[in-house]
Chains A and B, each alone.
Chain A
Amino acid sequence: MTSLLKNSELSIEKADKIVSETLNSCDDGELYVEDTKSETIVLDDNKIKSSNYTSDLGYGFRAVTGDTVAYSHSNEISEKSLKNSSDNLKSTLKNNSGTYNSEIKKTNQKLYKDIDPIESKSMKSKIELLNNMNEYARSKDSSVKQVTASLLAEKKNIEIIRSGGELLSDNRPLVRINMSVMVEKNGRKETGVYGIGGRQDYDEYLKNDNWKKVCDEAFRIANTNIESKPSPAGEMKVVLGPGWPAILIHEAVGHGLEGDFNRKKTSAFHDLVGKKVASKGVTIIDDGTIDNRRGSLNIDDEGTPTERTVLIEDGILKNFMQDRLNARLMNTKSTGNGRRESYKHVVMPRMRNTIMLGGTNTQEEMIKSVDKGIFAVSFGGGQVDITSGKFVFNCTEAYEIINGKVGAPIKGATLIGDGPSSLKEILMVGNDMMLDPGIGTCGKAGQGVPVGVGQPSLLINNMTVGGTQL
């Protein structure tokens, strides 16, 4: 196997030696080497505003004993630098000693191809695509006043060297196509944003003029919002559309089921395994194994193969998402959720593709059953306070529901709720499960990682809607 170290001043043999010697008296740890190339091209205000290419190479060296983690990273890849890191790790852990757990599952999992999405499409054709997107979006209506389109591609190659010389690697492509449209009409301005992406070449996402659909969708959302009226405020029933609105699941329960918060007992869910935490019929999984999805990984950033982890089954809490550290301290196995943004970051339990499985109700039934409420079709960002369980997110496309019928679009609505209690307030689970279009990035402790979400339409009781209309 050719290693990422091949062109550096550090030979793999030397690296092995330092790694083994440093980690022998620790419970766990590894040398993580990462070589990432990324390219971002942005069209803004009718011009190619920027084309940036980034090449980032570095290592993160981690030693773990008990619940103490020592971490040192650098982008100087040399024997001297690694030795310095080793000394630094040893000085942190000097009073502790452990037994290295060399057990790590093997996999031949191939969820995406080893491609370089930056090189497989020429710069010329990327610029042409952005120009086409700009022209097409502007041609949709004279009310379109501003268009921003961008293309992002990345190839991240990682290598994990464990004590004893074991080497694990993964080559991860990722692309994303984004569109933002601002519409101005009658003195009002609104935007619509849409995007698609995943772990394949650009061309897979551009088939059948798919880029036009991206523009259409961004325009449709902006155009809907221009007609919107102020959002109501207060507690009411909420119907969530399928797909991307599952970021509610991600925020409301996902984070609270990450192993670290539960090991530390700071999550509202920490003592609820085996207990009923959601309405019957609610099953939530975190799946790292779906082909080409944004949140999928062959192995996580500790080398553990990803899997399909059942978190909540028919309303009962089954499992937390674990990395190796938290799994060891909680006497269980890693679920392949150990992730990091880059070599500059420590591993934490993070979500992959978090999905609520489908049920039996139709969206129509849900809307029919609501006297006064809102129908939320798309969201911007969300956030959660793990300890109190409170989460919030902002609707980017929502409508009022009056007497069982979808009414006018509403603007600027914020939904706020309590994770553990809102799961029990789920009244209906739809039969229309859908995955998001491949655009999610999850932030935790300052680290962003690509994730996916999915869900069917849902009817939730008693959610607080924040608006300006009392």
Chain B
Amino acid sequence: MIKDQDYLKKIADICLSKSKKLGSTDASILVQSSVSENINVRNKKLDGSERSENLGVVLTTYLGKKKSSIASSNLKESNLNELVDRCIETMKITPEDEYNSLPDKDLHFSGLKDLDLYDETHLSNEDKINYIKEAEDEAFSNNKIVNTNGSGFGENKSNFLLANSNGFSDGYKTSQFTAYCEVVSKSNGSMERDYEYTSKRFYNDILKPKELGSIAADHAVKKLNPKKIKSEKISLIFDKRISKNFLSIFASAISSSAIAKGTTFLKDKLNQKVFNTEININDRGDIKKANGSRYFDSEGIGIINLDLIKNGILQDYLIDTYNGKKINRKSNGRASGTTNLYFENGSKTFSELIKSEKKLLYIKETIGHGTNIINGDYSVGASGIMIENGEFSYPVSEITIAGNLNNIFQNITLADDLEFNYSTNSPTMHVEGMIVGGK
């Protein structure tokens, strides 16, 4: 069972009062408890079960502008006392940093907690196994699916308390239900794997097992017997599971830490046109039941909604207290990053998008870590499907796609098929003129 707020509060109080006693001027603490249960099935047979109970505490103490942190999973009082001692000792000899401080009291979250982030539904292991077996059964009903890499179902419940010496003390429970199915297809000596994944706060919102299995199978079969194409400049269509990655890249490029250090290609671009005028990007933390929703960030600052890009123009950064001070801005509650980040729908339908040019390459998977936030260079491995005259024609693999994000962002056209499946979501995306490396 996850621990209740009273238990978490007791731990927080021990640490906060001990830090104060030892001379810290300020302190903040996070106490967490979570329980997760996962079931793995492979080839329709139980492969494994995993149950984890996690406890943890993270304490940060301040002495004026000096700061130090400790973290521990051992919440015995004797251990906590020892660690607070250590934290204080380290803090005293750490150099001052003028930007260190607790967050602005005025920005502390205070309000209703009505976002529905916790589903107390508990599935027995039997139910979990049945769900995931049904998904695999469905995948195997496709005769080109010969094997699975494993499929799984997970249920996670957690509770936390965040408190600081300025009087903030709040926390809440969240839940997450996750299922994935990863299958292997085979035909004419070609072997490919692909997957489908669903994760929601409420059990009733996740994909039904049959859908999960059939989508995974369909993905894996469509990859069979790929061709390698010649190097060329070609427009790409990014499947929704890939197009959302550009939002994550965008988010890291406008984090106040990167902006303050100058280590991003979007430095000094505030109020400038970063995308074309049809693009709007929002970050909303207040969508009911959504994966990315939260009441406050890891500093206790209330989440406000941000229109990050309006008609292509960069409106805001993602700001926390420390880095905000460096750039003379108040925190906008993004110390834990974005919440529900998404592109607004474009004006074209999916079918209009794939018919917009005679020849397009549809990207379904990228591999590698080829994004350079500092200068915007982008180069990753990829696989996908060639589209000729608006029809999907043959799978393509072992290619690379490359460009610079400054150009890529200006050349995006979006479809109107946005769905809120993850915390970061994008419609299908068309990017004009990227370089494909192949034969």
Q: Which of B41-49, B279-287, B331-339 contacts A (4 or more CB under 8 A)?
A: B41-49
A72 touches B435 (CB 8 A): no
Least distance between A40 CB and chain B CB atoms (Å): 9
**Closest Cβ neighbor of A44 among chain B residues:** B261
Contact with A along B238-269 (1 / 0, CB 8 A): 00000000000000000000001111010000
Q: Which of A45-53, A204-212, A286-294, A449-457 contacts B (4 or more CB under 8 A)?
A: A45-53
Q: Which residues of A contact B125 (CB under 8 A)?
A: 91-92
Task: List CB contacts (< 8 Å) of A57-110 with chain B.
Answer: 57-58, 67-76, 81, 85, 88, 91-92
**Closest Cβ neighbor of B323 among chain A residues:** A45
Least distance between B191 CB and chain A CB atoms (Å): 6
Q: Which residues of A contact B402 (CB under 8 A)?
A: 231, 233, 412, 414, 466-468
A68 touches B147 (CB 8 A): no
A392-B368 contact given A146-B263, A383-B381, CB 8 Å threshold: yes
Q: Which residues of A contact B87 (CB under 8 A)?
A: 53
Size category of the binding interface on chain B = 35 or more
Q: Which of B211-219, B270-278, B371-379 contacts A (4 or more CB under 8 A)?
A: B371-379
Least distance between A132 CB and chain B CB atoms (Å): 13
Q: Does B403 contact A (CB under 8 A)?
A: yes
Number of cross-chain contacts by CB at 8 Å: 246
**Closest Cβ neighbor of B365 among chain A residues:** A385
A390-B374 contact given A54-B70, A412-B402, A466-B400, CB 8 Å threshold: no
Task: List CB contacts (< 8 Å) of B361-420 with chain A.
Answer: 367-370, 372, 374-375, 377-381, 383, 397-404
A388 touches B95 (CB 8 A): no
Q: Does B233 contact A (CB under 8 A)?
A: yes
A231 touches B73 (CB 8 A): no
Q: Does B13 contact A (CB under 8 A)?
A: no
Q: Which residues of A contact B120 (CB under 8 A)?
A: none
A414 touches B370 (CB 8 A): yes
Partner of B149, one of A56, A182, A184, A387: A387
Partner of A387, one of B49, B54, B192: B192
Q: Does A189 contact B (CB under 8 A)?
A: yes
B68 touches A390 (CB 8 A): no
Task: List CB contacts (< 8 Å) of B44-71 with chain A.
Answer: 45-56, 67-71
Q: Does B437 contact A (CB under 8 A)?
A: yes
A56 touches B73 (CB 8 A): yes
B52 touches A393 (CB 8 A): no
Q: Which residues of B contact A284 (CB under 8 A)?
A: none
Least distance between A191 CB and chain B CB atoms (Å): 6
Partner of A190, one of B46, B70, B369, B375: B375
Q: Which of A262-270, A273-281, A352-360 contacts B (4 or more CB under 8 A)?
A: A262-270
B68 touches A51 (CB 8 A): yes
Q: Which residues of B contact A45 (CB under 8 A)?
A: 260-261, 326
Q: Which residues of B contact A391 (CB under 8 A)?
A: 367, 381
Prevailing SS type, chain A contact patch: strand
Least distance between B70 CB and chain A CB atoms (Å): 5
Q: Does B72 contact A (CB under 8 A)?
A: yes
Q: Does A344 contact B (CB under 8 A)?
A: yes
A47 touches B95 (CB 8 A): yes
Q: Does B354 contact A (CB under 8 A)?
A: no
Task: List CB contacts (< 8 Å) of B409-439 with chain A.
Answer: 435-439
Q: Does B74 contact A (CB under 8 A)?
A: yes
Contact with B along A362-385 (1 / 0, CB 8 A): 000000000000000000111111
Q: Which residues of B contact A470 (CB under 8 A)?
A: 231-233, 435
Contact with A along B191-210 (1 / 0, CB 8 A): 11100000000000000000
Partner of A233, one of B147, B374, B436: B436
Least distance between B200 CB and chain A CB atoms (Å): 19
A71 touches B381 (CB 8 A): no
B379 touches A75 (CB 8 A): no
A268 touches B191 (CB 8 A): yes
Q: Which residues of B contact A427 (CB under 8 A)?
A: none
B147 touches A416 (CB 8 A): no
Q: Report the Cα distance A234→B379, complex, angstroms.
A: 13
A414 touches B149 (CB 8 A): no
Least distance between A316 CB and chain B CB atoms (Å): 22
A55 touches B368 (CB 8 A): no
Task: List CB contacts (< 8 Å) of A400-420 with chain B.
Answer: 411-414, 416-418
Q: Report the Cα distance A229→B211, complex, angstroms.
A: 47
Partner of B403, one of A58, A146, A464, A468: A468
**Closest Cβ neighbor of B383 among chain A residues:** A390
Partner of A235, one of B71, B90, B260, B439: B439
| Shortest beta-carbon contacts, A-B, top 3 | A466-B400, A392-B381, A233-B437
Given contacts A53-B68, A412-B370, A468-B435, 13 further A-B contacts (CB under 8 A): A52-B70, A52-B71, A53-B90, A57-B73, A73-B50, A75-B75, A182-B374, A191-B374, A266-B193, A414-B402, A416-B381, A468-B379, A469-B435
17 A-B pairs, CB-CB below 8 angstroms?
A51-B94, A53-B71, A68-B46, A73-B53, A75-B75, A81-B53, A123-B90, A127-B93, A190-B375, A266-B184, A266-B193, A384-B367, A387-B184, A387-B193, A392-B381, A412-B379, A465-B437
Name A's B-contacting residues (CB within 8 A): 44-45, 47-58, 67-76, 81, 85, 88, 91-92, 123-124, 127, 145-146, 182, 184, 188-191, 231, 233-235, 264-266, 268, 344, 346, 380-388, 390-394, 411-414, 416-418, 464-470
Name B's A-contacting residues (CB within 8 A): 42, 45-56, 67-75, 79, 83, 86-87, 90, 93-95, 97, 99, 125, 147, 149-150, 184, 191-193, 223, 228, 231-233, 260-263, 265, 326, 367-370, 372, 374-375, 377-381, 383, 397-404, 435-439
